[in-house]
Amino acid sequence: MNRIQSMADWVDRARAVLPAAGFGNFDASMVIARGQGASVWDEDGTRYVDYLIGSGPMLLGHGHPEVMEAVLEQLPLGMTFFANNTKGIELAEAIVAAVPCCEQVRFVTSGGEADMYALRLARAYTGKPKILKFEGGYHGMSAEAQMSLAPSRPVNFPTPVPDSAGIPQGVADQMLIAPFNDLDAVAGLLAEHGDIAAIIVEPLQRIIPAKPGFLQGLRDLCDRYEVLLIFDEIVTGFRLAYGGAQERFGVTPDIVTLGKIIGGGFPLAALGASAQIMAHFDKAAVGAENWLMQLGTLSGNPVAAAAGLKTMEVLRRPGQYDTLRATGQRLMDIMTDALSAHGILHRVTGDPTLFDIYFTAGDPVDYRSARHDDPRRNEVWNAALRSHGVFKSPGKVYPSLALTEADLAQTAEAVRQAARAVARL
């Protein structure tokens, strides 16, 4: 029998076979053993209240019994086919029914893949080459998306800054960068550049809310200049509301990308638009010269589709989003009360369904203003939360519907301890 290994042992093993000892997603010193509900346990057996929840997809919590049942019903029927299957078709129907801009969808495996195809689709439909994105906006790992995601130094707009090695200058030449929440800057770029195919935007940029009227302003500008508007709703889809940001804010884009929650914890994402735009995936409809080739071994995987369908069914039940928002607001208030008690300057930024703290006196409105006055405060804050049993990313809190009163009480105590730690700096 193999001896039980500690988390440190697993980190050593990872270091030998994984670059930087990890998968590239999260702190490589953490090795998670299992999850249940709103809890995860590491390989040392330490339990945490989970506010990472897989970076968003586990809105119902880990191991939700109805989702598990749906998956177990599908597994003996087949795990993947590289062909149409009924669960995938049913999931497409559910997405079209829920998301205002969708008449048709195409499945892929990851959100980054969906964003990549959305940009290519916009270019195919408009015949124009350039893409406008916002500084700090996250749209996956494609070459276009890695432009000005997290530039370490400010440059003049609209110059793009590559955030990764291996990206050719030709990609930068087709990208324009604007500050989030600045309609005047967008209007100026659209007036100057007549070859923009699309604007891609997160309706909630990381955790920075759009100013009132900003999203509708983008819609109006896109209509005026015949540019497509892409909402990246990988995160906000089925989180801000059942119909995502489109439902929440009443603004309908031309193309949407979806992921995370629609896979119910399994690898699945999608992009959707009108049938006219989506026709570019149909060679018979648009001809070889206008056809957008897209295929993937696991696209529309029936196990992922079954999990997504059941997750969406649960989310449609009355009161789910009221509960999620009320829970998120309680967490926001817990953090505000604890930090304010010590006179610590901060801003709770985001939406009750997705937010975090900035240790600053001003309201973050774009990438350059979304800064901690003293980054050490955020480091100490997050380290103290983890040491008291709260598991989260360094820059986001994802509330879930699995949180219990006991989880919230544990979180409140961890927050109080973390506020004391920050106050001692």
Q: Which residues are catalytic?
A: 138, 232, 260
335 neighbors 357 (Cβ within 8 angstroms): yes
Integer CA distances (angstroms), 359 to 4, 377, 388, in order: 41, 7, 20
DSSP notation for 325-337: HHHHHHHHHHHHH
Residues 6 or more apart in contact with residue 281 via CB below 8 angstroms: 106, 121, 291, 292, 294
Helix ranges (H only) for 271-374 are: 275-278, 283-286, 302-315, 320-341
> Do the Cβ atoms of 276 and 86 come closer than 8 Å?
no
Cis link prior to 19 (omega < 30° from 0)?
no
Look up residue 361 and give its amino acid.
Answer: A
Cα separation values, 125 from 186, 201, 246, 273, 296, Å: 21, 18, 22, 11, 21
Pairing of strands 130-134, 175-178: parallel
Q: Where are the alpha helices (DSSP H) in 50-158?
A: 65-74, 86-98, 111-126
CB 167 within 8 A of CB 102: no
Rounded Cα–Cα distance for residues 309 and 110 (Å) = 17
Task: Please count the helices (runs of H) and the strands (runs of E) in the chain.
Answer: 14, 15
Beta strands in 140-210 (DSSP E): 175-178, 196-201, 204-205, 208-209
Please tell me the distance from the alpha carbon of residue 75 to that of residue 344, in angstroms, as a whole number: 51
Residue 403 CA: distances (Å) to CA of 49, 67, 321, 323 = 8, 17, 13, 10
- Find out whether 294 and 80 touch, Cβ atoms under 8 Å: no
How far is it, in rounded angstroms, from Cα 111 to Cα 267? 9
DSSP letters of 392-421?
A: -BTTBB---TT--HHHHHHHHHHHHHHHHH
Question: Residue 283: what residue type?
Answer: K
